[in-house]
Amino acid sequence: MLLADENRPNILLAISDDQSWIHTSAYGSPAIQTPAFDRIAQSGALFTNAFGASPGCSPCRAALLTGRHTWQIEDAGTHASSFPLKYPVFPSLLADSGYHTGYTGKGWGPGNYKISGRTQNPAGPSYSKHKLKQTPAGISKTDYAANFADFLEDRHENQPFLFWYGGHEPHRSYEKGLGEKNGADPEQVEVPKFLPDDPEIRSDILDYYAEIEWFDQHLAKMMKTLEEKGELENTVVIVTSDNGMPFPRAKANCYEYGIHMPLAISWPNHMPGGRHIDDLIGFVDISATILDLANVTYPTDKPGLSGRSFRDILMSDKSGICDPSRTAVFSARERHSSSRYNNWTYPQRAIRTADYLLIHNFRPERWPAGAPQKYETEDKLGPEHGGYHDIDACPSLTYLIENRNNPEIAPFFHAAVDKRPEYELFNIKVDPACMKNLTGKPEFQSIQQDLTVKLNNYLKETDDPRVLDGGEIYESYKRYSSIRKFPAPE
């Protein structure tokens, strides 16, 4: 029998693609069933305040892999760029220390890691040969669970493993009507306050739920495999996502539904179960924790880690706040899709405390979701409102555009696509949808000033180009996906 031990546990990292924190049954969403996620939360800990490093997949995954903030990893901190070799990634560090490593599905990407001199995806060797013959439209045919079984068969006796299960779900596109086809009830959908409550929106959200459930089903199969092999007790299972739901004003935004991630962690017979942890956890902390659990030391001759391990929280029997020193987490974005003139970015930095979220929009003169109009050909402009490519194409976006002149729908449309002020402040306890900007209100002036100072000081301490010299270097990083053409700003 292949066994890890207490000093070198197996690690199964499951990361979905585009899932906001609230959308599992463990967090209370009534219209979705995620028994595998719920089981991990019950046997270990459910984290209520985990935050992605970026609201976009490629930079967030790069930050997770390196344990460094997106502004500390050069090209890899933007979407669809390269991944400088000088930044070590934890799968390689674990492999060098004797771990069997691999991934299935989506590792790091989109982007071009080969141009940086890497010989494999930063998530590790690929296990991808098993495919499903038939899946709903929009769902990957990758048989994640079967590939995990292959991975386990490949390792040596007594060798601990690290496996990255990267589901392509719930990334768009979706099979329209899949949620209702699976028997889900539209009336149970809790529509976020930044979207209009309409049957079209509810149906779109149900289809998103259906893909989360698909991801969860493969996770359940992997856990069953571990149980059958007698390995589950010595496996740390970490389940999260890379950024928020692919809907207007969520994914690709530093709002709550763009950066607040689901997170459940279990280690049966080692960490106490049934706990809800309210500590603020960033993705760079997850990287540090994985290295700590694997008893791997980060190389001293390389750029250092930005996060710190929360192994002590995992092993504690406490719930609620376990480490009062964790007072803030940080998130950021630069380029997401190609959505503006000359491939310009939309730079944001955010600080999240237990109660408040402050966002600094460094270029408020730019369009946050993309310029409204793009060129269809070299010299022919497309239709108005056809350039919002930082919002994934979807029925919900189409609905907002088509109904933008309806007085009841117009506020949602404008909240998703209009230009924004330089600073935005939200009281998350009363406004998790981030619809009521509190900047400039006298009663919140001291809070805004305090958070602005803390954010700026942290960015300076961690050498963020945006605060050091304006950050124009981000406009120079090459994009390895398609680039659209937009009119020059007036």
Task: State the average pLDDT over residues 287-292.
Answer: 98
Spatial distance between the Cα atoms of 441 and 11, rounded to a whole number of angstroms: 47
Please report the domains of the chain, with CATH numbers, ordered by start residue: 10-322 (3.40.720.10), 330-475 (no CATH)
- pTM of this prediction? 0.97
pLDDT in tens, 87-134: 999 999 999 999 999 999 999 999 999 999 999 999 999 999 999 999
Confidence band of 486 (pLDDT split at 50, 70, 90): very high
Task: State the average pLDDT over residues 471-490.
Answer: 95
Spatial distance between the Cα atoms of 64 and 239, rounded to a whole number of angstroms: 13
User: Coil, strand, or helix at residue 117?
Assistant: coil
Is 412's pLDDT higher than 60?
yes
* pLDDT, the chain, mean: 97
Which residue in the block uniquely carries the two structure tokens 């990083």?
477
Give the Cβ contact number of residue 349 at 10 Å: 26
Task: State the average pLDDT over residues 282-297.
Answer: 97
Is 482's pLDDT higher than 90?
yes
Spatial distance between the Cα atoms of 248 and 355, rounded to a whole number of angstroms: 23
Share of the chain above pLDDT 70, in %: 99
Evaluate whether 338 touches 479 at the Cβ level (below 8 Å).
yes
Task: State the average pLDDT over residues 24-53.
Answer: 97
pLDDT reported for residue 2: 45
Confidence band of 1 (pLDDT split at 50, 70, 90): very low
Task: State the average pLDDT over residues 264-279.
Answer: 96
Spatial distance between the Cα atoms of 72 and 87, rounded to a whole number of angstroms: 10
Spatial distance between the Cα atoms of 343 and 390, rounded to a whole number of angstroms: 12
Q: Label the pairing between strands 264-266 and 235-241.
A: antiparallel
Give the Cβ contact number of residue 125 at 10 Å: 16
Evaluate whether 351 touches 458 at the Cβ level (below 8 Å).
yes
Backbone angles phi, psi at 126, to 5 degrees: -85, 135
Task: State the average pLDDT over residues 243-259.
Answer: 98
Confidence band of 158 (pLDDT split at 50, 70, 90): confident
pLDDT reported for residue 378: 87
Can you read off the two tokens belonging to residue 188?
């149970």
Single-letter amino acid, residue 72: Q
pLDDT reported for residue 4: 57
pLDDT in tens, 300-312: 988 999 999 999 9
Task: State the average pLDDT over residues 370-378.
Answer: 95
